Structure 1
Amino acid sequence: MISYPTLPSSVSRRSNGLPVNSVSIALALGCILAGGGLQALTFNLAFSIIGVVLGVLVLLSLKMCNSWQRALVLRAGKIQGLRGPGLFLIIPFVDQVTEVVDQRIRTVPVHTRQTLTRDTTPVDVDAVVFWMVHDPLRAITELDDYEGSVSMVALTTLREVVSSSDLAVLLEDRRRIDDQLRDLIEVKTREWGVTVQAVEIRDVQLPDNLQDAMSRQAQAERERAARVTLASAERAVAVELAAAAKTYEASPIALQILQINRVFEMNKNRGTTILMPTTMADAMGSATAFAAAVQAATQTDSEAPSV
């Protein structure tokens, strides 16, 4: 059954208005208390009414945006501009704060399922898009839902790039794919007042049978490399043995001394008895005598007094 991709989910940071802030509440309470105090001094109810009316007007007219927010103000349906950050005034019942835009960098996860690459390999790709609103007025007035539009553009662009790339490129050259995705998405969203900071591919999932085939291929490559290394070592050993054979051919006594050394190495730890042919023993005996003579001559030379 074909699995169709779902829309990427993102946490919305849009607001249709501003909450009542602490500054306007404090000023409104001050107006109400001042009106109540004047009423207590003059015994005139009008001061309390005026204080309540002023407090309500302060609550309705004094708004505040955070440093990362911008508020769109409409006056009788016409755009008056953006307000914020900080405190600003509006005309109650005439002005209206319709949208509040968060200008911090946001992340949108993008998931594609069973997307065919250029070499017809189905893959599942997960990516993250980092973006921000650099022009809140255009983002609000030109798009009904700029967050959903960015998500849709990121999804379709990711599918296009995956479909036009080989599997090897997706697995080995992710940095170039990330840059290509960022450029393509930004071209489409720049006119909306949205800037794409970066795109990062988090994971590329392959089908199980393809993973098994790639694992077997990698194992075969490692085995081939091991055999080539072993063959190279054997060839080097053969070259050295050929050179040693020429040396032993030129000096039979050296070969006999080597044989004696091998017998000694075999017998020194195990304490075993070795049976050798008489001719081989005689040859070793002459070699031993020759070696002893050389050693004695060396000692005699070393002990001779110097003139």
Structure 2
Amino acid sequence: MAFGRRRAAQAQVAMADGGATPAAAQARGGRGRLRVAPDPVTEVIGERASNGGVLLFSVVLFALAFAAVLAAGTAATGGVGPATVALAVLLAALAVSACHIAQQWERVVVLRLGKFNRVSGPGLFWTWPVIESNTMRVDTRTRVTSFGAEETLTADLVPLDVNAVLFWHVWDARAACTEVGDFTRAVELAAQTALRDAIGRAGAAEVAIRREQLDRELKRVLEEKVAAWGVTILSVEVRDILVPPELQEVMSLEAQAEQRKKARIILMEAEQDIAELMEEMGDFYAANDAALRLRAMHLLYESVRETGGTIVVPSSFSEGFGDVLPDTLRETLGR
């Protein structure tokens, strides 16, 4: 029932957003606005890390401490009373609050009376009950955040939709806890702003073609912004750049015209080379009549070989080769 109500609510959001799908309505969030769509979980289902061991350790520790205090109280007073049970519960709770376990990828920021004391973990660590507190558990694994810019104007006033992915991780848990209120949200908004600014400084063609340069620029800008928060930007990858359909047609026509221009230039260069070669060959044949006649015979032979036909050669034509042909061949052509 809860699933059905959630789907119905998503459908109502989609209808209010102009008939778009719930996913599209959530991603768009409003016409002309930039939206960040973080991926809170980057692990595949079935491979998610479990905290069951930590919880089991806390339960076992509580039970052992409770049993030990209860046994000591019984031995001291000779019986089990309400005061003994209350004392056992209190001391067991203090033992659980003093002993902690951090996972391999976790760092725990410990404050003592409100002031930063240390960063603990991974593994087993202890704190003073009441005096010290575990303020924040920071996940130091690589995180993936997808973000995008919708209908952002470029330098030549062309609206573009750009989607990108940010890979980052926390390397300094202390700075992430004490220097910024919500470092996850801060990184997302910084990536959003950097993408918008990068698009606004370049033209539409430059954004669409020079994607790798846009990735490097975003990474450089983000590194400067988030370094003070104890965050490292691993890479920024632009996934998709959507150009308005009407602009796609114009850019296609422009590209076709550019290709036709290149084709004509190549054709003219080829004709120029051919003309230069023909000029050289003309000079050569002008100085050598025998070569010209042999060339004519070669062309004649090629035409007959390709078509498989027969050519009747007049006797006057064969006399023109008298200086270059053997006597036997000249007599054959003369017949």
Q: CA deviation at 1:278?
A: 4.3
* Alignment map for 1:211-226 (pairs within 5 Å): 211-226=248-263
Counterparts of 1:4 and 1:84, CA distance in 2: 41
Structure 1 SS opposite 2:37 = coil
83-92 vs 24-33, which moves further: 24-33
Q: Using a 3 Å threshold, how does the CA distance of structure 1 residues 105 and 276 change in structure 2: closer, same or farther? A: same
Counterparts of 1:167 and 1:254, CA distance in 2: 60
1:104 corresponds to 2:141 = yes
Q: CA deviation at 1:158?
A: 1.6
Structure 1 counterpart of 2:120, one-letter code: G
Q: Using a 3 Å threshold, how does the CA distance of structure 1 residues 41 and 206 change in structure 2: closer, same or farther? A: same
Is contact 1:257-1:288 (8 Å) kept? no
Aligned partner of 2:189 in structure 1 is 152
* Alignment map for 1:177-216 (pairs within 5 Å): 177-216=214-253
Structure 2 SS opposite 1:120 = coil
Aligned partner of 2:4 in structure 1 is none
Counterparts of 1:257 and 1:275, CA distance in 2: 18
1:274 corresponds to 2:311 = yes
1:243-265: CA deviation from partner (whole Å, max 9, x where unpaired): 33333333334333333333333
Q: TM-score, normalised by structure 2?
A: 0.68
Q: CA deviation at 1:55?
A: 4.8
Is contact 1:21-1:64 (8 Å) kept? no
Q: Using a 3 Å threshold, how does the CA distance of structure 1 residues 80 and 285 change in structure 2: closer, same or farther? A: closer
Q: CA deviation at 1:152?
A: 1.3
182-191 vs 19-28, which moves further: 19-28
1:53-97: CA deviation from partner (whole Å, max 9, x where unpaired): 665543333111123322234566x24534420222234466543
Structure 2 counterpart of 1:119, one-letter code: D
Is contact 1:73-1:83 (8 Å) kept? yes
Q: Using a 3 Å threshold, how does the CA distance of structure 1 residues 84 and 227 change in structure 2: closer, same or farther? A: same
Q: CA deviation at 1:163?
A: 0.8
Counterparts of 1:178 and 1:142, CA distance in 2: 27
Is contact 1:67-1:84 (8 Å) kept? no
Is contact 2:36-2:146 (8 Å) kept? no
Q: TM-score, normalised by structure 1?
A: 0.73
Aligned partner of 2:288 in structure 1 is 251
Aligned partner of 2:100 in structure 1 is 63
Q: CA RMSD in A?
A: 3.9
Aligned partner of 2:155 in structure 1 is 118
Greater RCO, CA 8 A, separation 6+: 1
Q: CA deviation at 1:142?
A: 4.4
Aligned partner of 2:27 in structure 1 is none
Aligned partner of 2:166 in structure 1 is 129
Counterparts of 2:230 and 2:285, CA distance in 1: 86
Q: Using a 3 Å threshold, how does the CA distance of structure 1 residues 285 and 7 change in structure 2: closer, same or farther? A: same
Is contact 1:127-1:201 (8 Å) kept? yes
Q: Structure 1 residue aligned with 2:38, among 9, 12, 17?
A: 9
Q: CA deviation at 1:106?
A: 2.1
Q: Using a 3 Å threshold, how does the CA distance of structure 1 residues 84 and 260 change in structure 2: closer, same or farther? A: same
Gaps in structure 2 of 5+ consecutive residues: 1-29, 43-50, 331-335
Counterparts of 2:265 and 2:37, CA distance in 1: 49
Identity of aligned residues (%): 29
178-187 vs 160-169, which moves further: 178-187
1:232 corresponds to 2:244 = no
Structure 1 counterpart of 2:272, one-letter code: R
- Number of aligned pairs? 288
Q: Using a 3 Å threshold, how does the CA distance of structure 1 residues 248 and 95 change in structure 2: closer, same or farther? A: closer
1:164-222: CA deviation from partner (whole Å, max 9, x where unpaired): 22334424444443343333333333343434344333332222233333333333333
Q: Using a 3 Å threshold, how does the CA distance of structure 1 residues 231 and 10 change in structure 2: closer, same or farther? A: same
Q: Using a 3 Å threshold, how does the CA distance of structure 1 residues 231 and 51 change in structure 2: closer, same or farther? A: same
Q: CA deviation at 1:109?
A: 1.7
Aligned partner of 2:120 in structure 1 is 84
Gaps in structure 1 of 5+ consecutive residues: 294-307
Q: Using a 3 Å threshold, how does the CA distance of structure 1 residues 113 and 255 change in structure 2: closer, same or farther? A: same
Is contact 2:98-2:129 (8 Å) kept? yes
Is contact 1:109-1:128 (8 Å) kept? yes
* Alignment map for 1:23-42 (pairs within 5 Å): 23-31=57-65
Structure 2 counterpart of 1:282, one-letter code: E
